[in-house]
Amino acid sequence: MINSLAALPNIGSKSTQMLEQAGITSLQQLRGLGSVAAYVQVKRAGGPVSLNLLWALEAALSNQPWQEVARLHRTSLLLALEEYEKQNVMP
């Protein structure tokens, strides 16, 4: 069983570093947040994020290739991201 972020498929060392700098240091935390909230947390922490990170996070959590996630789940993830950011506006 995978317990560390670095061991996740689709998550490279730079992504792991960005997650850790945003305070996400364990797979349990990542699972608890979900891909959208984790992406936003990294983005708000000032990480140089692109949507590829969102695809990779979702792919890692769903055990799918990131290319498949980007192709099949792009719209639903973008809608979820928009909704999350509306509901969690920073003061």
**Mean of per-residue pLDDT scores for the chain:** 90
In the prediction, which pLDDT does 42 show?
96
Question: Residue 58 burial by CB count (10 A; 0-12/13-18/19+): exposed, middle or buried?
Answer: buried
In the prediction, which pLDDT does 2 show?
53
Tell me, which fold does domain 5-87 have in CATH? DNA polymerase; domain 1 (1.10.150)
pLDDT tens profile 44-80: 999 789 999 999 999 999 999 988 998 999 999 999 9
User: Could you tell me if 55 and 66 are in contact, meaning their C-beta atoms sit under 8 angstroms apart?
Assistant: yes
Query: What are the residue boundaries of the structural domains of the chain, listed by start?
Result: 5-87
Q: CA dist 61 to 86, 87, 90, Å? A: 23, 23, 26
Cα separation, 45 vs 8, whole angstroms: 21
